[in-house]
Amino acid sequence: MKKSLTALVFILTVFNALAQDPVLMTVGHFVVTRGEFEYAYNKNSAQQGAVEEKTVEEYAQMYLNYKLKVLAAESAGLDTASMLLAEYRTYRDMQLMNYLVDEQFIDSVAKSLYDQSAAQLGGKDILNLSHILLLVPADATAQQKEQIKKRADSIYNALVAGADFEELATQYSEDPGSARYGGMLRPAGPGMFVKEFEDAAYLLQNNQISQPVLTSFGYHIIKMRSRKPLEPYEQLRPQIIANLQRQGINEVSAEKRLEKLIAASGGTLTREAILDSVLRVHVGEDVNLGYLIQEYREGIMLYEVAQNHVFNPAKTDLAGLQQYFQANRAKYVWETPHFKGYIVQAKSKKVLKRVVSFVKKHEGDENLTALVDSVFNGQGQAVRVSKLLVAKAGDNTTIDRLVFGGQTQPLAAFPYEKAVGKKLKQPESYQDVMQQVSIDYQQYLDEQWVEQLRQQYPFHIDQEVLKTVNNH
């Protein structure tokens, strides 16, 4: 009962919001307003290739069929199926949580982050640095350390003489993380470097370069690209909030607000009740929100019911597929012959002969390739058999070579090969044109289903209201 009530609240919410909208059609218990129809028609018209050739009248028939299928889904109990309800609520919540975003919460988080940064800086500047690092191994001898120091001095002297810092950093720096970027480091403040490096860096002014500085890592030549104090919070606030939003702060704040509302009610309000209330309020302000959520709710039901009535039978009803093929053979005509069968390949002529005999004996077996693999490859006799295929000239180079007179060469790994099957002028069964028949049979089942639904449920389209679509 609770699950059905949730759907009812949603439907009543939409209807209340659209009370002044003229009714364009009724389908069973569904009342479709002009606004709902315009939303669907205009949205689909905006999607390239969707309904670009459909008139309003033609689309009205499509929408009628859509609503009939939704009725069928409800009759099958899909509107109360727990798994589908959970999927619907997840999507609904994604839309509605935007209306619960707590700006004060986000601002407090942003201000807290700013205060932490300010405290860490302690009044000092933010530094934008680059460096060139020459590593000094922990076990380096005095002589090795002296050689590394001379290299560092040489690089420093070249920089003083006008050499490009980024070029030398890329060429000589042994810090792989920054060398690829010309020695550039991320903006930093106090406590983010070892003491010797930090002390030397804070002595530099813009565009100054330090003499080699020895730390526990090695010798650093530091360049001050720029330095500046921390800007006031109001100036940085948009940037901090934008970063927080990229990290999902809106969702976090909405959840926090929900928790506050539930706590403030003393537990009398539930998450569902609050979101239902948000839906009622905001559908009244934005009818497209209601249409969007309704569209998703109906869409997940429609997908499931169509699986049962159309998509699954089009895959599994083998007798129906064959019967449809036989009744519509004229639709499935080949302009050129096709080969139907298997490609058998082996390393020796003797093995090829044995495998060909085996394939002919088990021809048509769905597990033929697995059988061949277990019988022959299990004995260390390398062979390969393709799955049953239907191909015309140009579809498969091996079939072209073996059946249609192609001039390509066999694979070196399988020099002996044979096509086992036959040439067909026209398809013998639906399996020979499986893709086309499946698509056509699916459409046939859909048309039959719609016809049945039109007989089962009452419907009416108000032609006068239909004439005013996008024209009022």
- pLDDT tens by residue, 288-306: 898 999 999 999 999 999 9
Q: What is the pLDDT of residue 285?
A: 82
Helix 56-75 and helix 34-45: axis angle, to 10°?
110
Using one digit for the tens of pLDDT, what is the confidence trace for 55-69?
999 999 999 999 999
In the chain, domain spans: 1-114+237-330+431-472, 124-228, 334-425
Read off the amino acid at residue 279. Answer: L
Half-sphere exposure of 459 (CA within 13 A, CB side): 24
C-alpha to C-alpha distance for 17 and 23, rounded to whole angstroms: 13
Return the higher-pLDDT residue of 310 and 1: 310
Question: Maximum distance among all alpha carbons in the chain?
Answer: 98
Helix 165-172 and helix 142-160: axis angle, to 10°?
150
Using one digit for the tens of pLDDT, what is the confidence trace for 64-113?
999 999 999 999 999 888 888 889 888 888 889 989 999 999 999 999 99
Read off the amino acid at residue 20. Answer: Q
- Put simply, whether the predicted model's pTM sits higher than 0.75 gets the answer no
CA-only gyration radius of the chain, Å: 36
- Token pair listed for 140: 């380096």
Domain 1-114+237-330+431-472 - what CATH class?
A: mainly alpha
Using one digit for the tens of pLDDT, what is the confidence trace for 170-217?
999 999 999 999 999 999 999 999 999 999 999 999 999 999 999 999
- Token pair listed for 337: 């012959």
Q: Give 129's strand partners.
A: 224
Using one digit for the tens of pLDDT, what is the confidence trace for 429-442?
999 999 999 999 99
Burial of 344 (0-12, 13-18, 19+ CB in 10 A): buried
Q: How many helical (H) and strand (E) elements, i.e. helices and strands, does the chain have?
A: 20, 10
Q: Are 93 and 275 in contact (CB under 8 A)?
A: yes
**Percent of the chain with pLDDT strictly greater than 90:** 73
Q: For the domain bounded by 124-228, which CATH number is listed?
A: 3.10.50.40
Q: Are 88 and 243 in contact (CB under 8 A)?
A: no
Q: Mean pLDDT check: name the lowest of 14-18, 134-138, 200-204, 239-243.
A: 14-18
